[in-house]
Amino acid sequence: MHKIDHIALAVKSLSTAVPLFEKLLNTPCYKIETVEGENVNTAFFQNGETKIELLESISDDGVIARFIDKKGEGMHHIALLVEDIYAEINRLKTAGFIFLNEEPKKGADNKLICFLHPKCTNGVLTELCQEIKT
Ligand code: ZN
């Protein structure tokens, strides 16, 4: 059974978006983390069971910079928490879904992540994530 782990929003600047979301959600940002491989800085807020992740590009040609150029700031992806990401990838591939990366990679917040292609999920970029057990 899935639950929504987080909803991610593309923002131009964490330095303005973080205080705004701290006010909006009435909770402090609990983690800021850079994901080098993705050229993004991430900021996390807990909102009930679900997290809000803000994504800021650290390069002019990174995926988030290009997303904002095309669509402006706003909703970037939703992330579904799964127990076994490899089993879910197999299940969804068998069901005809297409992945942007079939091999899970390390994302922010101690997670293995992979993305489904938005063309097979009604235009909504969807991430699967699994806690990395240590
Ligand atoms: Zn995410």
Q: pLDDT digit string (tens) for 89-99?
A: 999 999 999 99
In this structure, which residues have their CB less than 5 angstroms from ion ligand 1? 8, 79, 127
Summary mean pLDDT of the chain: 94
Cα of 96 vs centre of ligand 1, distance in Å, is 22
E strand intervals along 18-58: 31-35, 40-47, 50-57
Supply the pLDDT for residue 37: 82
Supply the pLDDT for residue 108: 86
Cα of 80 vs centre of ligand 1, distance in Å, is 9
* Statement: residue 68 has pLDDT above 90: yes
Cβ atoms of 117 and 101 within 8 Å: the answer is no
| Structure-token match 């942007």, residue found | 100
Report pTM.
0.92
Q: What is the DSSP letter of 48?
A: T
CA distance 104 to 18: 28
Per-residue tokens: 3: 């639950």
